[in-house]
């Protein structure tokens, strides 16, 4: 029986946390993990639709997702929401607020989520005397930068089918990194949210899902996704064919 993604449970300490290698503590010496644990605060779970923090709110902490899933979004000048990312367990949220002292975006739970809060002032103090932690922070920031770049890339002149294929493959990879199936998983967000992130309206999302299914690339049942032909998906997402520019 294939196990469907739930991304649940992890122990109370960073030492035992199943997400250790994805999260802040990765590669830290044992005693440094101990120190980090000293400042991490476990919050009571945030339920679906609840805020971890709101845009404009004073920046005090960064947050690591332990279970569940979170979206970050900004309200644009005209009142529309723009979703800037989806965050799975082990990922760190709020790093974009370090410059400005205020959170530029809101973080909202897509499903009940447990969260580790890490007060930034204390993290900064700790990292002053913990080189390994300092390096780890730089690496995480750099990783985020790469992720954002790859999103830019995705939004820049790619067809709806390609965008969807890319994002499904990325989720596949991220679930696999968390020890879950790469081929069968449950998307934590609505089509509306995913479309918002991809720059596509819900109608297009619906039609695009259908087309991928008709081509035998995926099998869709609500939010449950099965990647049927991973090779063809990759060809569509990254392949030479389908580029809108390639004028051979």
Question: Whose Cβ is closer to DNA: residue 62's or residue 218's?
Answer: 218
Q: According to the binding rule CB under 8 A, does residue 157 interact with a copy of itself? A: yes
Cα–Cα distance for residue pair 158/125, rounded to 1 Å: 44
Element (H, E) at 139: helix 131-155
Residue 42 CB, nearest distance to a copy of itself (Å)?
A: 24
Residue 20 CB, nearest distance to a copy of itself (Å)?
A: 17
The SS3 call for residue 62 is strand
Burial class (CB in 10 A: 0-12, 13-18, 19+), 78: exposed
| DSSP string for residues in 154-220 | HHSS--HHHHHHHHHHHHHHHHHHTTS-SSEEE--S-HHHHHHHHT--HHHHHHHHHHHHHTTSEEE
Select from 93, 161, 188, 212 the one that contacts DNA (CB under 7 A). 161
Q: According to the binding rule CB under 8 A, does residue 239 interact with a copy of itself? A: yes
DSSP 130: -
Q: According to the binding rule CB under 7 A, does residue 183 interact with DNA? A: no
Cα–Cα distance for residue pair 86/110, rounded to 1 Å: 9
Cα–Cα distance for residue pair 44/24, rounded to 1 Å: 20
Residue 116 CB, nearest distance to DNA (Å)?
A: 26
Select from 6, 12, 42, 145 the one that contacts a copy of itself (CB under 8 A). 145
Region from 30-38, 96-104, 137-145, 198-206 binding DNA, contact rule CB under 7 A: 198-206
Residues 169-208, one symbol each (x = binds a copy of itself by CB under 8 A, - = not), give: ---------------------------xxxxxx-------
Region from 8-16, 26-34, 98-106, 204-212 binding DNA, contact rule CB under 7 A: 204-212
Q: According to the binding rule CB under 8 A, does residue 231 interact with a copy of itself? A: no
Q: According to the binding rule CB under 7 A, does residue 245 interact with DNA? A: yes
| DSSP string for residues in 83-126 | EEEEE-TT-EE-GGGTTTSB-SSEEEEEEEEEEEEEEHHHHHHH
Q: According to the binding rule CB under 7 A, does residue 80 interact with DNA? A: no
Question: Whose Cβ is closer to DNA: residue 46's or residue 200's?
Answer: 200
Pairing of strands 106-119, 61-75: antiparallel
Using CB under 8 A as the criterion, which residues of the chain lie in contact with a copy of itself when the complex forms?
A: 74, 76-80, 82, 84, 95-100, 104-105, 124, 127-128, 131, 134-135, 137-139, 141-146, 148-149, 151-153, 155-157, 196-201, 238-243, 245-246
Contact residues: DNA, CB under 7 A: 157, 159-161, 190-192, 199-210, 220, 222-223, 244-245, 247
């Amino acid at each position: 029986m294939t196990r469907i993604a739930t991304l649940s449970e992890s122990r109370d300490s960073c030492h035992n946390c199943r997400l250790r290698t994805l999260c802040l503590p990765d590669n830290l010496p044992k005693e440094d993990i101990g120190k980090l644990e000293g400042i991490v605060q476990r919050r009571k779970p945030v339920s679906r639709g609840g805020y971890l923090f709101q845009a404009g709110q004073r920046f005090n902490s960064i947050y690591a997702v332990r279970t569940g899933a979170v979206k970050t979004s900004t309200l644009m000048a005209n009142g529309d929401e723009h979703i800037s990312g989806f965050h799975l367990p082990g990922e760190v949220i709020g790093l974009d607020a370090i410059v400005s002292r205020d959170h530029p975006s809101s973080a909202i739970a897509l499903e009940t989520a447990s969260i580790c809060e890490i007060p930034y002032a204390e993290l900064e103090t700790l990292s002053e005397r913990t080189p390994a932690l300092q390096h780890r922070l730089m690496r995480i920031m750099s990783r985020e930068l790469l992720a954002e770049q790859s999103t830019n890339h995705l939004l820049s002149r790619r067809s709806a089918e390609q965008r969807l294929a890319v994002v499904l493959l990325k989720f596949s990879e991220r679930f696999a990194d968390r020890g879950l199936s790469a081929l069968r998983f449950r998307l934590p967000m609505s089509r509306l949210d995913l479309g918002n992130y991809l720059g596509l309206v819900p109608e297009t999302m619906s039609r695009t899902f259908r087309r991928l299914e008709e081509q035998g690339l995926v099998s869709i049942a609500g939010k449950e996704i099965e990647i049927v032909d991973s090779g063809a998906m990759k060809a569509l997402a990254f392949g030479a064919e389908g580029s809108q520019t390639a004028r051979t």
